[in-house]
Amino acid sequence: MDWSRTKSIFIWVFLILNLFLYTQYLESYNEGQLIEVLGETTKKIEARLKEDNITYIALPNNNESAAYYSGQIKKFSPAEIPYSANQFTQIENENKLIVTMEKPVKLQENGGRNPFLEFLYNNVQEGDSYVLWNVDEEKREATFFQKVNNLTLYYNVRGYVKIYWDDENRVYAYEQTMLEKHEKLDKQQNLLTAIQVLQILDNKNLLKPDSQILEMNIGYSTIVQLTQTQVFAPTWEVRVKLKDGQEEIHFVNAVQGKIVELQNDLSEIVEETEDLEE
């Protein structure tokens, strides 16, 4: 037997075997690095937030799910506007009502943060399908967003109500757009958890040090705009109070995890949309 040759063969065989085992080890090590155990991720993000002095009280429950929805732009026709002796209604571009009150309507006293509810329910078509978003005391304007699947549809120029009042707390006008025929699309989607959303915002440096997470809600944002139909995606709304007392709102697509950049001034969107339509 040629021992020298056998020895060489053994050396080569073990060398190849070692190389193979080493590559296997590297692969499994790298895979291990990629897998993030949820508990650990949560701890990591919590630690990072703590480091930056970003505080929050209680985050919403995990494991929420919601579906995509669609809606059609409501075209108003004079025939279907209910008669009201106190309302003078103009229809703009078929999709917006501009209503002037013949006699201004006194706002509800002791209505708390939302003294507009009574007016909304009694005077506005399907008023209960809108939810208060913002009150601008200086301009005396209150903005309501339409609800889809009972959740707020953020900043959609086709689904809002704006109420205007005078210095005697009387509503003298409002404008309204509406999305109708809401339909669930496709199957229910599992949504990102609140902590995952904070992680996304933190990774993008959108959470500033010394800030406080005030609220996190699920709503909808418009993802697709067709000629007559729009499609809405489940969206996380994250309200943050900054060190200087200012408030910031971030929106994150709750299925895909992308930051949704919504223009936060509805009047600007209205103007832009109208320019495009012209």
Partner 1 sequence: MRFSVLASGSTGNAVYVENDEHSFLIDVGLSGKKMEQLFANIDRDMKSLSGILVTHEHSDHIKGLGVIARKYNIPVYANAKTWTAMDGLVGTIPTDLCFDFDMETVKTFGSLDIQSFAVSHDAADPMFYTFHDNGRKLVVITDTGYVSDRMKGYIAAADAYVFESNHDVSMLQMGKYPWNIKRRILSDVGHVSNEDAAVAMADVVAEKQTQIYLAHLSKDNNMKDLARMSVEQTLQSCGIITGEYLHLHDTDANEPTKLVMV
Residues forming the site for partner 1 (CB under 8 A): 68, 70, 183, 185-186, 223-229, 231, 233, 253, 256-258, 260
List residues bridging with 143 in a β-sheet: 134, 162
Residue 84 or 256: the one with the smaller Cβ distance to partner 1 is 256
Residue 213 or 252: the one with the smaller Cβ distance to partner 1 is 252
**Please, what is the minimum distance in Å from the beta carbon of residue 160 to partner 1?**
21
List residues bridging with 160 in a β-sheet: 145
**Please, what is the minimum distance in Å from the beta carbon of residue 228 to partner 1?**
6
Residue 104 or 257: the one with the smaller Cβ distance to partner 1 is 257
**Please, what is the minimum distance in Å from the beta carbon of residue 27 to partner 1?**
22
* CA distance linking residue 250 with residue 127, whole number of Å: 27
| Plot region of 232 (φ>0 → left; ψ -120 to 50 → alpha; else → beta) | beta
Burial readout 106-126 (b: 16 or more C-beta within 10 A, e: otherwise): ebeeeeeeebbbbbbeebbbe
Residue 142 or 260: the one with the smaller Cβ distance to partner 1 is 260
Residue 36 or 102: the one with the smaller Cβ distance to partner 1 is 36
Residue type, 166: D
**Please, what is the minimum distance in Å from the beta carbon of residue 183 to partner 1?**
7
245 to 48, 77, 205: CA distances (angstroms): 22, 45, 19
Closest CA to 176 of 95, 122, 114: 95
Residue 157 or 161: the one with the smaller Cβ distance to partner 1 is 157
Is residue 191 within 8 Å of 66, Cβ to Cβ?
Answer: yes
**Please, what is the minimum distance in Å from the beta carbon of residue 156 to partner 1?**
14
**Please, what is the minimum distance in Å from the beta carbon of residue 233 to partner 1?**
7
* CA distance linking residue 200 with residue 252, whole number of Å: 8
